[in-house]
Amino acid sequence: MAGINSSEILLESGTNELEIMEFKISGKSFGINVAKIKEILQYTDINPMPNSHPCVEGVFKPRDLVITVVNLPKYMGFGDEPPQERDILIITNFNKLVTAFHVHSIEGINRISWEDIEKPDTTIYGGEEGLATGIAKVEGRLITIIDFEKVLVDISPFTGIQMSEVESLAERPRSTKPILIAEDSMLLKRMICDAISTSGYTNIVATTNGKEAWDLLESYRNDSNNPLTDHVACVITDIEMPVMDGHRLTKLIKDDKVLKRLPVIIFSSLIDDEMRIKGKDVGADAQISKPEIARLVELIDSLVL
């Protein structure tokens, strides 16, 4: 099966659109942001790894890189059926890791707006433990977008944000400079807030998507009684978020004659050379890949203090 050339699907910066690849597990439709995909391969022989996580099938080496294979059906509770010849490996590249996810079939790619992706009810989808980052309706079908970052953190915690990286910063002077965060993952939002608070920033406002953050920023801009810096000194945003993504949020901020002076840091698992181009196009002041939380704190210091 042909690989995906991400340069061919790089969307125009700040349009609030994304490409979703629909795949199936046991007949159910799920989705992944194409920006996370390196290539698609037909299932092949996998070398098992002793003492690995139960959902890790093993490793294989398609070319010059040894890649870990995660059995996504097993992880998601669909059972542990033997692989079939028609099964597929989705090779991903995010959080600076290349990983293969075993699925049953690939259905195609759909371009949609983040506005058309709804955040699932956390009381139904497990709150911080939930795997669904959004629900998209495409041609009458509901596609559940999976939080692949959470899958990896569950299987291998070291791939996530490490609070130990900021523990050494805990004795720093406190700062009341207000920090606005846009992050849709409840787990990551809590961890980012905890890390920034530990590093000394005590005035933090967290939102669940770019639209919520933008609505707040508009209200701050329109407050004639208080200067903008009383409300916000820096914006930290993820890229992938329902309703409004981080690139669109950044573009709106930098196109606004009042808000444009606010520093914006894009903090996302998707940061690579192509995403850096998009982030630069929309005016981001800094871009950093998750889970480099200590580096994020350093950037906030350089832009705020």
> For 72-125, how does the pLDDT look when each residue is reduced to its tens digit (9 = 90+)?
999 999 987 888 889 999 999 998 899 999 999 999 999 999 998 988 776 555
Query: pTM for the complete prediction?
Result: 0.86
> For 36-69, how does the pLDDT look when each residue is reduced to its tens digit (9 = 90+)?
999 999 999 999 999 999 999 999 999 889 999 9
> For 134-175, how does the pLDDT look when each residue is reduced to its tens digit (9 = 90+)?
899 888 889 999 989 889 989 988 877 777 777 766 667 789
What is the per-residue pLDDT for 54?
94
Task: List domains and CATH numbers for the chain.
Answer: 6-157 (2.40.50.180), 161-304 (3.40.50.2300)
What is the per-residue pLDDT for 129?
60
CA–CA separation, 42 vs 27, rounded Å? 18
CA–CA separation, 182 vs 236, rounded Å? 6
Are the C-beta atoms of residues 283 and 254 closer than 8 Å to each other? yes
- b/e string for 41-59 if b means 16 or more Cβ within 10 A? bebeebeeeeeeeebbbee
What is the mean predicted confidence (pLDDT) over 200-204?
93
Residue type for 283, please? G
What is the per-residue pLDDT for 163?
72
